[in-house]
Structure 1
Amino acid sequence: MNVLLKKTMPLPRAELILIQIHKRLKRTKTPKVLNTQRALEYFDIAYPPIYGSRWPSIRLALLSKPKYISVVNNFTDYKGTIQKLELDDDELAARAAKKEMERYPEEYRQRVQAHGSSLDVLDVDFSNRIIKSSLVGAEAGLLMDYVPPTKLKGLENWVEETDVFLNTSQEDSDIGMKKEIQEEPLELPEMLRIYYFLKGDISDFPHPRSDNVMGVLDQYILDGASLLPVLALDIKQDDKVLDLCAAPGGKSLIAMQTWLPKLIVCNDVRLGRLKRLHEVMWQYVPKSLTNIRDRVVVTMENGCEYPEKDAYDKVLVDVPCLTDRHSLEESDNNIFAVARVKDRLKLPEIQGQLLVSALQAVRPGGCVVYSTCTLSPLQNDGAVHLALSKIWQETTIEYSIVDLTYAIQPLKFLYRFGNNLGLRYGQIVLPSLANNFGPMYICKIKRLR
């Protein structure tokens, strides 16, 4: 009886006040910072010194609906798929990029022929691609001084990323670098059928549908900038191709759709990612086409120490990176999570190791394309520099940076390329509201010996 009375007795006034204070504090507690907010705060600090007046428009594009392309699956009734894309009930405004890309290179060649081989008529500025050691300083906005996160209030947990880079001001001769200009424009292989929406049109493609006859999906939809690294590989008939960090498999699938490679080795290091890779590949290649399936080999190797050397004609190394757009859209598995600080800081070193491994895997005379989906100079030109320094110091490999500035000119109708950014090794696609692809950085390297 006494116990029951104690339970029903009113609480003392002091305790009631404490409970009310506690509830108020609970309501006014500082909301948890989302990983996407951390990413945006980081980008707002890191990128304005690099991209200047372009950053507000890039930022708006990154926070807006992305734009996609459709890769028609050649292993189905592709004519039927094309008909649906061009003439379906919704009257999609999609058109074949193939036709556009065929037309642009022809106009491009005519312009070159009309003006000799001068690059000036195409407004190509090669002088801005070289970083001289004399330019390194507080106002240069280069690799070593573009982010001071540890000095910023509220970012005490962010370690100085630039500590991983030394001697980024080395001259070309210091790292054995040669250069060559690719004068032929990047072109779409004849069998690759790509559709995109016109500039300014943000319509959606219909969801991929299963082909009733072959039992596979009719199209693969992905960020339009993901096409660029595959085009830069310039795959030829019977090439042996290695996709060193292949999952989820979009770029390998594009390479397959060309019908050109004799062999495509799709590699990744994690079992979960390999499972996704398997799903993508076999959702698009029918079981009955054993001759195509036999061309695809899936491996699970550490890409930083890939066992095969001098074995491939072309190697694509699409490295793990900050994945800017994903980091702003998804809090799950976000590289800016507090628990993943070490993972983020290790990225440049891992990227450099992957590129070194790719250069060892490609045969002399073959090419490597390094790519990321970040705007970070450290993970783009910076990681490339780290790898080239290591190659020069620790191996006998000789290489040449392939300047694609001229070769990508015909693709300006599709991509917004970043100019006058001081890029030393590669090219970058900047997101824009008109054609909201990317970001995508690519660097092409030819192995000479």
Structure 2
Amino acid sequence: MQRILIIGGGYAGFYAARGLARRLRPGEAEVTVIDPRPYLTYQPFLPEVAAGSVEARHAAVSLRRHLPHTRLLPGWVTEIDHARRQVRVRPLDGPEFRLGYDVVVVTAGAVTRTHPVPGIAEQAIGLKHVEEAVAIRDRILTAFDRAAALPPGPTRRRLLTVTFVGGGFSGVEGFGEVLSLATALLRSYPTLTLADLSFHLVEATGRILPEVTERPGRWVVRELEKRGARVHLDTTVVSALDGHVVLSTGEEFDSELIVWTAGNGPNPVVHRHTDLPVNGRGLVVVRPDLRVGTEEQPVPDAWAAGDDAAVPDLASALPGALTTPNAQHAFRQGKLLARNIIATLRGRQPRRYLHHSLGSIATLGLGRGIFQYRRLVLTGPPAWLLHRGYHVLAVPSWERKVRVAAIWLAALFFGRDIVSLTAVTQPRAAFVTGDEPPAVTKLPLEPS
């Protein structure tokens, strides 16, 4: 029996494992998936989770429920030694151990790319995982509760200032959705007005949304600014110490929430801890059929796909072009991985990966969006409806599709749920303190 090891349970890994489970004959192979999280995160829903339009659990797909015939190991792969056909595993509990395999599938994905900006590591939060999206939503709601009880001034202004760093799809969608949430919240906080909100989107290049052409990108900037936001192009964050944001343009302001979405970086295990071939960007070198290696130097029994793989883009006219690291490619590559591994096990030739883009689509808040397919551009409600229709069909499992559609339907009649659950991060606080209010520093008495 062949031992197939899949490193990572994201899009590519999940669909590869599911495809193998459906196609393998009894006793033909054993499939193991290693991932620290017991679920697949449907990342296109994270901006809407941050805005309260999608329930957090509905953006996560249980691996155990949908991969019932697959062995799941919770933990991290810290080294891939393909020469010996083994990996080093760091489990959630217990010491590290080595695990052997016959075929390895590297779908570890990418990690959030950070820069050595003072204060970012201490103050910022990403938007790549469900818990980050939930934290963003709860911090916005908590900030409104606190600001509503304060008089106008620096503290209230800081609480209602939000900064997103990075103008790619993740940053723009998250920014647009959180801005939509904040403006909607004003109806429930009569002491606050639109003038109290301060939203900043910072992008180091001269345009946002590089996946669309320049004209639709400019439209998005105008749309966000029309809603009261500030878009800083050709600008970087110089410092964010203690939440005090300093931009390269010289502008400074205090921000309660800083969200870092400035691109992805290579996965450490792929970039530094493997003997598989890796390119200059830290991605596994793969052939068009997703086998690791090149046409001249193939690596037997090794496959890779998704955000950690340099997959040749056969649909592009540019020589040497690679597929864009997004969900659209990752889940299709995962499906092809399963078919190609089965084919090689049974002595057949694998197929090459070829996918023509279905276009680019982004949500910018309730009723707002943008879609581009070649020269066709849709904006506003049509693009937003298309975004929702596409992703409710794309999220894995009918159970998740129904749950997400039900949440959206309920929101049409009852609006957003605006309850913050920040307290769940400290569930024992009330038990320990007996719900006593926190101590405050006593101010000196003013002279009479």
The TM tier, using the shorter chain, reads under 0.3
Larger Rg: 1
TM normalised by structure 1 equals: 0.24
User: Greater strand percent: which structure?
Assistant: 2
Q: Which has the higher contact order (CA 8 A, sep 6+)?
A: 1
TM normalised by structure 2 equals: 0.25
User: Greater helix percent: which structure?
Assistant: 1
